[in-house]
Structure 1
Amino acid sequence: MGLFSFIKNAGEKLFGKNEEEVQKEAAANLPDLNRKAADAIKAHIDAQNLGLEGLGVTYDGASGQVTLTGNAPSQEAAEKAGLTAGNVTGVAHVDNNLVAPAAEESQFHDVVSGDTLSAIAKKYYGNANDYMKIFEANKPMLSHPDKIYVGQKLRIPK
């Protein structure tokens, strides 16, 4: 799947600290913090119940890069795993190396101020009423169609 970029300061706050606190601690104990962050991201991905096998997660706090390895049951599951990892505060890039059965990749959309799922559906499908396609494609990461945030990256199925 390759390398995807994300907005580092947007997303789920799994680490419980602000960016400045994370950087101070990182300087003191980088390998341990990277391992703990990777474990938290892995647990967050596992909670999505995507059916991944042998999921491996590494995190480099200096660059904000997450690397995913393992097997996914579908292209959709692999894409959702990458989005789950990338939509975490502190993550700037995801190198998604999950192996999945060959299928056409989805498009992706970075949420900006003023976006709604209806507006995004209108942009990609020409019909605002198709917003549920986007919502369903991003479940369980999205719990409600109105709960998207600036900086979030969403899967837009074709």
Structure 2
Amino acid sequence: MGLFSFIKNAGKKLGIGGDDDAPDVEAVKKELASHDLGTDKVEVEVVNDKVVLKGVVEDQSIFEKAIVAVGNTLGISSVEAGELKISDAGVAAKDPVFYTVKKGDNLWKIAEEQYGKGKGAKHTVIFEANRPMLSHPDKIYPGQVLRIPDLED
């Protein structure tokens, strides 16, 4: 666990570069901070088209949201988070489940695919797990990567 792939030519455009240009480190830091996730102890590096995250976050949810927040950036093809830790020393980050949106997808379809037939109503769980990066459940796009949380039964 530690290296996560994204679609380089899909995502939010930061800065003024071309579509294939990775944003600079300051733009990525600003984007991560804009979501107010509690990532003030996270260091950000940009190496070519890869973002490297290091430091400490409070919990698994913030760990996953930080990866998605910077990975869904135009020009970024991967996020390395091997040195991003969860603050509770006894709790190691578990392998997150991510889903790359395909043409024709909606959150209901994704919920049925990820959680099983008849569980489309759990689409709200996926939406809430991706806030504040998602502002509306209908505003997803092909190539976007979403975090898929475990269902609590």
With the length of structure 1 as denominator, give the TM-score of the two structures.
0.84
Q: What does residue 8 of structure 2 align with? A: 8
- Tell me which amino acid in the other structure corresponds to 1:49: D
Provide the C-alpha distance between the structure 2 equivalents of 1:128 and 1:148, rounded to a whole number of angstroms.
16
- Tell me which amino acid in the other structure corresponds to 1:144: H
The structure where helix makes up a greater share of residues is: 1
Deviations 1:41-81 (A, max 9, x none): 111111111112322111122xx111011110101101100
Asked if 1:156 is matched to 2:143, the reply is: no
Q: What does residue 98 of structure 1 align with? A: 84
Deviation above 4 Å: which 4+ runs of structure 1? none
Q: After TM superposition, list the pairs within 5 Å mapping 1:9-158 onto structure 2.
A: 9-19=9-19, 22=21, 37-61=24-48, 64-96=49-81, 97-100=83-86, 101=88, 102=91, 104-126=94-116, 127-158=119-150
Provide the C-alpha distance between the structure 2 equivalents of 1:136 and 1:5, rounded to a whole number of angstroms.
22
- Tell me which amino acid in the other structure corresponds to 1:73: E
Contact map agreement 1:75 1:105 (CA 8 A) in 2: no
Contact map agreement 1:11 1:87 (CA 8 A) in 2: yes
Q: What is the count of residue pairs matched by the alignment? A: 143
Q: For structure 1, which segment, 39-48 or 103-112, has the greater mean C-alpha deviation from structure 2 after superposition?
A: 103-112
CA shift for structure 1 position 134: 0.2
Contact map agreement 1:118 1:131 (CA 8 A) in 2: yes
- Tell me which amino acid in the other structure corresponds to 1:109: Y
Provide the C-alpha distance between the structure 2 equivalents of 1:53 and 1:71, rounded to a whole number of angstroms.
9
**Unaligned stretches of 5+ residues in structure 2:** none
Give the superposed CA RMSD: 1.6
- Tell me which amino acid in the other structure corresponds to 2:14: L
**Unaligned stretches of 5+ residues in structure 1:** 23-33
Deviations 1:103-151 (A, max 9, x none): 5443110101011000000111221111000000000000000000110
Provide the C-alpha distance between the structure 2 equivalents of 1:3 and 1:105, rounded to a whole number of angstroms.
11
Contact map agreement 2:33 2:40 (CA 8 A) in 1: no
Contact map agreement 1:53 1:70 (CA 8 A) in 2: no
Contact map agreement 2:41 2:57 (CA 8 A) in 1: no
